[in-house]
Amino acid sequence: QSALTQPASVSGSPGQSITISCTGTSSDIGAYNFVSWFQHHPGKAPKLIIYGVTNRPSGVSSRFSGSKSGNTASLTISGLQAEDEADYFCCSYAGSSIKVFGGGTKLTVL
Amino acid sequence: QVRLQESGPGLVGPSGTLSLTCAVSGGSISSNNYWSWVRQPPGKGLEWIGEMFHSGITNYNSSLKSRSTILVDKSNNQFSLQLRSVTAADTALYYCARDSLELGGKGAFDVWGQGTMVTVSS
């Protein structure tokens, strides 16, 4: 299973919106509605912020939203805040109980 | 609140066996969830290693399947990872995580440990 493709970095100013893409194949993202997104501050445990493509766990800000089109999933963060600066990873189900992660995207809040 | 804590040697010799344990607290390992191991080599992305269900069902990343074993220890409410014949490429931060079936599973990792760094070196 190949890793999903994410941009290495994205940046935005406070208050702006940014979108992080996660590109897979017709065998993972394109085949299933099981895409998750994680926020990871270095030195801390990753945090689930989106599951099932569009769903937010209880307690996660509504500023985070997920979507999918074809083989590409996207995470949008609106009203960017300094605390959003972190690494973001996507994960997709790839069938046969297999999960595959993206390479991660570093978000910088300018 | 469920918490996970990884433990194990921080240094393993080349060709040796990496052995890690994930202790589950605040909940039962026999709950309706899958329990996974995930790793992150320095400067790289996350890689799913494999998972187990309390019944003994296991699933593995095909690239690591021949070297990996995940076992459950219900009496101590923990699960473990063994990775055999390690090389420098196995140097990574190793996490254990819960894949919540309440959230649909299939990658909905809602609880993570802090991670433990394992270096493969002589």
The β-bridge partners of A15 are none
The minimal CB distance from B48 to the residues A34, A48, A100 is found for A100
Whether A99 shows a pLDDT value over 90: the answer reads yes
The minimal CB distance from A48 to the residues B48, B51, B109 is found for B109
Q: Do A48 and B51 touch (CB under 8 A)?
A: no
Q: For residue A16, name the pLDDT band (cuts at 50, 70, 90).
A: very high
- For chain B, the straight-line distance linking the first and the last C-alpha, in angstroms and rounded, comes to 39
Amino acid identity of A5? T
Q: What is the structure's pLDDT at A39? A: 97
Nearest CA to A68 out of A107, A20, A101, A109 is that of A20
Establish if B16 touches chain A: CB-CB under 8 angstroms.
no
Q: For residue A43, name the pLDDT band (cuts at 50, 70, 90).
A: confident
Whether A20 shows a pLDDT value over 80: the answer reads yes
Q: What is the structure's pLDDT at A42? A: 87
The minimal CB distance from A101 to the residues B45, B59, B63 is found for B45
* Residues of A in Cβ contact (< 8 Å) with B104: 34, 51-52
Residue tagged 């569009």 (tokens): A54
Whether A2 shows a pLDDT value over 80: the answer reads no
What average pLDDT does range A54-64 have in this prediction?
96
Q: What is the structure's pLDDT at A1? A: 62
Q: Are B15 and B86 in contact (CB under 8 A)?
A: yes
Q: Which residue ranges in chain B fall short of pLDDT 70?
A: none
Whether A80 shows a pLDDT value over 90: the answer reads yes
**Which are the contacts of B23, defined by CB distance < 8 A and separation ≥ 6?**
B4, B5, B7, B76, B77, B78
- Long-range contacts for B25-29 (Cβ within 8 Å, ≥24 apart)? B25/B77, B26/B1, B26/B2, B27/B2, B28/B77, B29/B54, B29/B72, B29/B74, B29/B77, B29/B78, B29/B79
Q: Are A50 and A75 in contact (CB under 8 A)?
A: yes
The β-bridge partners of B33 are B100
Q: Are B82 and B68 in contact (CB under 8 A)?
A: yes
What average pLDDT does range A57-67 have in this prediction?
97
CA distance A49 to B12: 34
Nearest CA to B107 out of B55, B65, B48, B53 is that of B48
Residues 24-63 of A with CB under 8 A from B: 32, 34-36, 38, 44-48, 51-52, 55, 57
Nearest CA to B90 out of B13, B28, B27, B6 is that of B13
Pairing type for strands A105-109 and A9-12 reads parallel
What average pLDDT does range A31-50 have in this prediction?
95
The minimal CB distance from A89 to the residues B46, B61, B108 is found for B46
Residues 52-111 of B with CB under 8 A from A: 59, 61-63, 95, 97, 99, 103-110
What average pLDDT does range A34-43 have in this prediction?
95
Instruction: Name the residue in chain A with its Cα closest to that of B58.
Output: A97
CA distance B83 to B7: 14
Q: Do A32 and B62 touch (CB under 8 A)?
A: no
